[in-house]
Amino acid sequence: MLDPIPPTSVLRAFEAAVRFKNFSKAADHLGVSQSAISHAIKDLEIIVGKKLFTRNARRTAPTADAILLCEAVRNGFKQIHEAVQECRATQNANELVVSCFPGFAVKWLFPKLINFDTEHPGIAVSLKTLVGARKVAEDEADIAIDYVSKGSVVYSAEMLAEEHLIPVCSPEYLQNNGPLETPGDLHRHALLCDEVNAPEGVQTLWTHWLESVGVPSSILATRRTFGQSNMVIQAAVEGRGVALGRTMLIAEDLQQKRLVAPFGPAVPSPYGYYLVAAGGDRKAENVAAFKSWIAKEANKTVTEHNRFLEKVLELQPA
């Protein structure tokens, strides 16, 4: 019986670690934490039964076995990529290409797509984590989910969902770094931020929340910035600081108690999720089916979040 094949995430972490010969650089390249790389390497070493890296204070170096294994991993990824490209070349007319931001894809949309597949087995959804509406205009997607300031929507778009913002952290972080009882306590903590590019004249999300609750935005001097919202959430789960949770993205982590909201209020976001569809009759029926489905799912999520927040925190009206 063959030994189990390591998960793709472990192999990607391993390949990056060999390529950069540095776990920190590998983590930055993949958009994950350094501890995630370390855990992946340990898991792989258990599977293969030997050490794959030599480590000292100055450098990390792959062993000869690691270099040999990495070459096989790279060849495997190449073959998979070529096979995927070949499949795409023969894709049928029922494929629907959906574009959205990576954080929204990872934390909300992807886990729900199995429901769409069940309801619409004849439509194959392909996700592209690109920047929303612009890609629809360039014919790179059939429909996009954009996350933009409510005051800056200048294209033909339909509102999908609004959300609230609330500070969150891991239970362990709260226990080890408290107290965190009021917004004013945040000045003693690292604030985790993503790089949502606010249009001119529109506040960033942390600035908006802080000013809404009467706390000077100058405390953002202690911020740590990440490239994507899912990276911010993961950093909070790992206890690296306090994130400004977006209710569309943190539901599962709150329910599973990986995150807690130590205080309120939950403030309406100045941003919203918008649907942008390609014009004309191209895949019109599939687009309509997806729009109807995702609107239903978004409404369900917003309703559930508001009920949760009303139970545990003050919820400001949108």
- Report pLDDT digits (tens) over 177-227: 878 888 988 888 889 987 655 444 445 788 889 999 998 888 877 788 887
Q: Are 142 and 277 in contact (CB under 8 A)?
A: yes
**What is the band of 65 on the pLDDT scale with cuts at 50, 70, 90?**
very high
Token pair listed for 51:
């050490």
The pTM of the full predicted model, rounded to 2 decimals, is 0.63
Looking at the chain, the whole-number percentage of residues with pLDDT higher than 90 is 30
For the chain, list the domains and their CATH numbers. 8-89 (1.10.10.10), 95-160+273-301 (3.40.190.10), 164-268 (3.40.190.10)
For residues 144 and 136, what is the distance between their CA atoms, to the nearest angstrom?
7
Which among 17, 9, 14, 12 has a CA at the least distance from the CA of 60? 17
Residues 30-50: what's their mean pLDDT?
91
For residues 233 and 228, what is the distance between their CA atoms, to the nearest angstrom?
9
For residues 294 and 78, what is the distance between their CA atoms, to the nearest angstrom?
34
Q: Flag whether pLDDT at 293 surpasses 90.
A: yes
